[in-house]
Amino acid sequence: KAPPTLNHRYIFEDVPCSLVPIASLGDRFGVSVRAMDAVVTLANIVHRTDYWRRGRTVDKLGFSTLSVSELTAYVNEGIREE
């Protein structure tokens, strides 16, 4: 059952904490995330906020300098090579 309102945690929690990080990773590694970008943009409009600024981006997570293999190793093994 869908929430009765757009002011729901499905938007104000999931967009900045799930969609923004995934879209940010896609942008970082050159993967098209246009549909996800559109959903975030619509959420920005509906909630009159900037989820790109408030959300968890690769920069905020400290992943902006990692390569795909380094990020994969970190996710799989919990070890970050410096």
The CATH number given to whatever domain includes residue 55 is 1.10.1040.10
Helix 34-47 × helix 20-28 angle, to 10°: 140
Residue 3 lies in a domain: no
Residue 40 lies in a domain: yes
Which domain does 71 fall in, by range? 9-77
Domain count, the chain: 1
Residue 2 lies in a domain: no
Alpha carbons 19 and 23: distance in angstroms, whole number: 6
Which whole number is the average pLDDT over 40-59?
Answer: 96
Residue 58 lies in a domain: yes
Asked if pLDDT for residue 76 goes beyond 80, the answer is yes
Q: What is the pTM of this model?
A: 0.85
Asked if pLDDT for residue 6 goes beyond 80, the answer is no
Asked if pLDDT for residue 56 goes beyond 80, the answer is yes
Residue 4 lies in a domain: no
Residue 1 lies in a domain: no
